[in-house]
Amino acid sequence: MDLEFDRNHIWHPYTSTLNPLTCYPVSSAAGVEIKLETGETLIDGMSSWWSTIHGYNHPHLNQAAHQQIDSVSHVMFGGITHKPAIDLCKKLVAMTPGDLDKVFLADSGSVAVEVSLKMALQYWHAKGEKRSKFLTLRDGYHGDTFAAMSVTDPDNSMHSLYKGFLPEHIFAQSPNTGFWQEWNERDLDDFKLKLTEHKTEIAAVILEPIVQGAGGMRIYHPEFLKGVRQLCNEHGILLILDEIATGFGRTGKMFACEHANVVPDILCVGKALTGGYMTLSATITSKKVADTVCGGDAGCFMHGPTFMANPLACAVANASMELLAQGDWKQQTHAIEQQFSLLLPELLKHELIEDVRWLGAIGVVQSTAPVDMEKIQQHFVEQGVWIRPFGKLIYMMPPFISQPKHIETLVNAITTALESEECFSE
Ligand code: PMP
């Protein structure tokens, strides 16, 4: 592989072109193993950013992709429909909670979020009300496009850098009570205050249910989400839940909102929708919201991406949903959660560790000092694992098919990193 070209010409996510971090050349991947061209085999602890829940190179997903590519890879969705999209939307309507039954397919998680925000704006426009603000939480993350960034934590997404371009929305304190802790009502105070202060301007509340991912890997109490739903109901404000990271079993429930028995007005899914094979997302809403949007002046929802409902992506997503329908994910994520609950508290003995937390197939280790990315990544590769931390967060979201020995290897690699001071910056 021409790594020199890669280093000199290719932008990698959140990596400087001036002095790029090492990129490891992958030659193939199967199950939970990623093979490097340099010969190492790594146990995957990331599911390629929450997506490859069934593992890599899965025969059922491969077969779906092969079959579909021999029939039609892509065809426009305007004025045309196809079986892969119909089958997938049937499944999504059936598996999502409550009355979520109108599906808008798009290309990525960030676009699903844009779509959800636009739906909320068009909803109020159609009702003849001027509402253009969104209420969200600090420490949240919703994607890298402009509207998604505008509801992402102002410090993490560096609002100051894009001042003037980003619309300014309302941020409430994120909940402090952890998932496994005793609920503290006070957690909702700031949210309640902001919501009542701005209730006539707010089009929708948008947040990540139960797990705030890239904004801090915070796992919060279901009562917070219940309280949010109730307050939105009291004030007639739409609730958008971004399940792009948490959806499809990751937290031990099919959707994280089920931990609180809450149904949103608009739901965003992505990432694991295709089992991590390719990019596809969906924004799903109720008939009431969809009918209101389409009953307005515009007469329809104003969005239509070129690759909307790409048949290849829909076919693989159907196969991924079929695997989920077999139900093994429940026992698998429960077993991973149990193992995290036994292994992670052990790490608290180490002075470099501030906190550990877990839920379903998510394990988080928070250190007191930021990691040295280059060094810790090299350490993980030497230990035969793929874990990519950020800042003070070393986190694992392994494929559901991971066996106890794989989880043990991942946690051992973190333990040895803690013992090697050079893996941390200070
Ligand atoms: N929302 C959440 C909660 C996410 O975790 C992500 C991706 N990290 C996104 C939105 C954006 O998705 P994508 O990267 O596919 O645009």
Q: What is the pLDDT of residues 226-284, one digit of tens each?
A: 999 999 999 999 999 999 999 999 999 999 999 999 999 999 999 999 999 999 999 99
Q: What is the pLDDT of residue 163?
A: 83
Nearest one of 87, 141, 143 to 115, comparing CA atoms? 143
Q: Which atom of ligand 1 is nearest to the CA of 243?
A: 3
Which residue ranges does the chain devote to CATH 3.40.640.10? 71-325
| Residue 187 designated active-site | no
Centre of ligand 1 to C-alpha 281, Å, is 10
Contact 174, 220 (CB under 8 A): yes
Nearest one of 58, 208, 59, 231 to 139, comparing CA atoms? 208
Residue 17: pLDDT band by 50, 70, 90 thresholds? very high
Centre of ligand 1 to C-alpha 268, Å, is 10
Q: What is the pLDDT of residue 158?
A: 80
Among protein residues, the one whose CA lies closest to atom 2 of ligand 1: 142
Q: Which atom of ligand 1 is nearest to the CA of 49?
A: 8
Q: What is the pLDDT of residue 421?
A: 81
Give alpha helix (H) positions in 102-185: 109-126, 146-150
Place of tokens 């990271």: 245
Ligand 1 pocket check: which of 141, 153, 219, 257 to mutate, most ligand atoms within 8 Å of Cβ? Answer: 141
Centre of ligand 1 to C-alpha 113, Å, is 8
Q: What is the pTM of this model?
A: 0.97
Which residue ranges does the chain devote to CATH 3.90.1150.10? 3-57+327-423
Centre of ligand 1 to C-alpha 209, Å, is 13
Place of tokens 């909307």: 308
Q: Which atom of ligand 1 is nearest to the CA of 108?
A: 15
Predicted confidence (pLDDT) at residue 426 exceeds the cutoff of 80: no
Q: Sort residue 143 into left (φ over 0), alpha (ψ -120 to 50) or beta.
A: left
Q: What is the pLDDT of residue 156?
A: 80
| Residue 277 designated active-site | no
Ligand 1 pocket check: which of 244, 273, 390 to mutate, most ligand atoms within 8 Å of Cβ? Answer: 244
Contact 204, 170 (CB under 8 A): no
* Alpha carbon distance 81, 373 (integer Å): 46
Among protein residues, the one whose CA lies closest to atom 9 of ligand 1: 143
Predicted confidence (pLDDT) at residue 69 exceeds the cutoff of 90: yes
Domain 3-57+327-423 top-level CATH class: alpha beta
Over residues 358-371, the mean pLDDT reads: 97
Q: What is the pLDDT of residue 161?
A: 87
Which is the catalytic residue, given 56, 141, 220, 395? 141
Residue 164: pLDDT band by 50, 70, 90 thresholds? confident
Among protein residues, the one whose CA lies closest to atom 7 of ligand 1: 143
Centre of ligand 1 to C-alpha 70, Å, is 30
Pocket of ligand 1 (CB under 6 A): 49, 108-110, 113, 141-143, 208, 213-214, 242, 244-245, 270
Predicted confidence (pLDDT) at residue 321 exceeds the cutoff of 90: yes
| Residue 271 designated active-site | yes
| Residue 330 designated active-site | no
Which is the catalytic residue, given 271, 277, 392, 395? 271
pLDDT in tens, 30-57: 999 999 999 999 999 999 999 999 999 9
Predicted confidence (pLDDT) at residue 402 exceeds the cutoff of 90: yes
Q: What is the pLDDT of residue 160?
A: 81
Q: Which strands make up the sheet holding 41-44, listed edge to edge?
A: 26-30, 33-36, 41-44, 385-386
Q: What is the pLDDT of residue 231?
A: 98
* Alpha carbon distance 26, 120 (integer Å): 41
CA distances from 182 to 220, 259, 292, 404 (A): 11, 15, 40, 29
SS3 286: strand
CATH architecture of 71-325: 3-Layer(aba) Sandwich (3.40)
Which is the catalytic residue, given 44, 153, 187, 242? 242
Q: Which strands make up the sheet holding 353-359, listed edge to edge?
A: 353-359, 362-367, 393-396
CA atoms 225, 228, 232, 233: torsion sign: positive
